[in-house]
Amino acid sequence: MKLLLKKHLVFLLVLSGLLITSSIKGQEEADMSQYRVRFGFTVTKQPDNSRVFKAEFYASNRKNRRERTPIYEAEIQFLNILEDQEIALGTAKTNKEGIAEVTLPGNYKYLKDAEGFMNFRAYFVGTDALDEESEDLRIRDLQFQLDLVEVDSVQTITVSAYTKDSLGIDIPVSDAYVVLSVEGMLSRMVIEEDLVDAGELQVEFPKGLPGDKDGNITVFALIEDDDTFGNVVAKQTIDWGTPQAQRIPVENMLWSEVAPFWMYVVLTILLVGVWANYAYTIVNLLKIKKDGKKMAMESDD
């Protein structure tokens, strides 16, 4: 396969060498041997139970690993697989960050195998230049709940995680790693991370966190990259934060748009004083002129 790719590449390089004289200047053939193509696939169950299927597709430079080149406009298919059944969940093209995403509503019925697992696949057909890519995930549906209650006047975060067996009976989960965080404008701050024990995790809510103007604050519980559950997110908003003081309107400062009051007063006094004097002078000059006119007329007489 690799050999084939190389052959293709050589051919393409020659071809592009011939074509380079024509107008397609901006598009040059990439030397794919320099790159290692990466294909990642995650499924996230969101707080509203909808699922996000996300594929990340990029090429990393072999020499400089930090140099990432996203693969753009690649069509990714997302599939739900059960034995020989393949159900298309949707297709999406990668964006400029190399990410393709499809979201399915919470009540979508996926195919499950006998053990209750769902098989998902992200699939890229492949082109002359790029290999076919495929990633599979085997995930179990997790009932993941976040409760914020005061227990003995202690603000407590309770996470419960359980699965349902084929009969619909809750089975508590014991080894899922949960990250609890509060939401900020730019990021989430981790409060606690721990394993769920017998389907439950209890953590005291930290004191003194600022909320919005009503004290509202959003708490997140996250399971990430779990072998059994994939990504699961739960969130809850509650008024446990310190209410943010309402912004006091800016006083008249030196740097504000409107100056301190006394500056207007002083400036006005100075200007009125000076310009009144000018006006007085000009009025008097005109009086001199008038007198002179009278005198000139008298002397003419």
Partner 1 sequence: MKDDKSSKGNPDRRKFMKLGLMTGITGLSGATLLSNLASQEELQASGNKIKLLTPDGKVVEVDAENINKYPEAHITPAESREGIPNRKFVMVIDLAKCNNARKCVEGCQRGHQLDPHEEFMKVQLIRDNEEGAPYWFPKPCFHCDEPPCVTVCPTGATFKRDDGIVLVDNDRCIGCKFCMTSCPYSARSFNWGHKDKFENTDQPYSPETSVPASEGTVMKCDFCPDLLRQGELPYCAKECPMGVIYFGDKNEDLVTNGVETLRFSQLIKDRGGYRYMEHLGTKPNVYYLPPVNRQFPLERGFDIDEEILDRYKDVPEVKEYKAKAKK
Partner 2 sequence: MDIAKRKKELVKEFAPNIIHFGALSKFWIGLLLALILTGIAAFIIQVVKGHEVTGMRDNVVWGIYIINFIFFVCLSYSGAFISGILHFLKTPLKNSVMRIVEIITVLSLIIGPIFILLCIGRLDRLHYLFIYPRIQSPITWDIIAILTDLVGCFIYLYMTFIPDFAILRDNGQDQPIWRQKLYRFLAMNYQDTPEQRQRLNKLIRTMSVMIIVLAIVAYSVLAWIFSLTLQPGWNSTIFAPYFIVAGLYSGVGVIIIAMFLVRKYRKLDHYIRKIHFNVAGLVLLIISLLYGYFTFSEYFSRWFSHKVHDINLLNTLFSRYFWEFIFANYIGVLVPFFIIFFKRFRTIKLITFSSVVAILGLWMNRYLIVVPTLETPYIPIQDTRAEFINYSATWIEWALSLGGIATFVLFFMLIVKLVPVVPMSGIIDNERENNNHKSANKIR
Residues at the interface with partner 2 (CB under 8 A)? 254-255, 257, 259-260, 263-264, 267, 270-271, 274-275, 277-278, 280-282, 284-285, 287-293, 295-296
Whole-number Å distance between alpha carbons of 298 and 276: 33
Q: Residue 72's binding partner, choosing from partner 2, partner 1, none, with beta-carbon cut-off 5 to 8 A by kind?
A: partner 1
Whole-number Å distance between alpha carbons of 73 and 197: 43
Identified binder of partner 1 from the candidate list 4, 20, 88, 154, rule CB under 8 A: 88
Token pair belonging to 196: 């769920």
DSSP states of 194-231 as a string?
A: EE-BTTEEEEEPPTT-B-STT--EEEEEEEEEETTTEE
Q: Which is nearer to partner 2, 195 or 295 (CB)?
A: 295
DSSP states of 94-119 as a string?
A: --TTSEEEEEE-TTPPPP--TTSEEE
- Residue 140 makes CB contacts below 8 A (sequence gap 6+) with 115, 116, 117, 118, 163, 228, 229
Does residue 11 sit in helix, strand or coil?
helix
Q: Which is nearer to partner 2, 6 or 290 (CB)?
A: 290
Identified binder of partner 1 from the candidate list 38, 47, 49, 86, rule CB under 8 A: 86
Q: Residue 2's binding partner, choosing from partner 2, partner 1, none, with beta-carbon cut-off 5 to 8 A by kind?
A: none
Whole-number Å distance between alpha carbons of 58 and 54: 13
Which part of the chain contacts partner 1 (CB under 8 A), choosing from 98-106, 144-152, 164-172, 195-203? Answer: 98-106
Q: For the purposes of burial, counting CB atoms within 10 Å of the CB of 148, is it exposed (0-12), middle (13-18) or buried (19 or more)?
A: middle
Using rule CB under 8 A, residue 128 touches partner 1: yes
Q: Residue 168's binding partner, choosing from partner 1, partner 2, none, with beta-carbon cut-off 5 to 8 A by kind?
A: none
Identified binder of partner 1 from the candidate list 7, 17, 91, 136, rule CB under 8 A: 91
Identified binder of partner 1 from the candidate list 4, 17, 127, 198, rule CB under 8 A: 127
Residues within window 259-298 making contact with partner 1, judged by CB under 8 A: none
Is the Cβ–Cβ distance between 155 and 205 less than 8 Å?
yes
Using rule CB under 8 A, residue 193 touches partner 1: no
Q: Residue 174's binding partner, choosing from partner 1, partner 2, none, with beta-carbon cut-off 5 to 8 A by kind?
A: none
Binding residues for partner 1 (CB under 8 A): 9, 12, 23-30, 32, 35, 58-59, 69-75, 79, 84-93, 95-96, 101-105, 107-109, 111, 124, 127-130, 181, 184-190, 209-210, 212-213, 244, 247, 250, 253-257
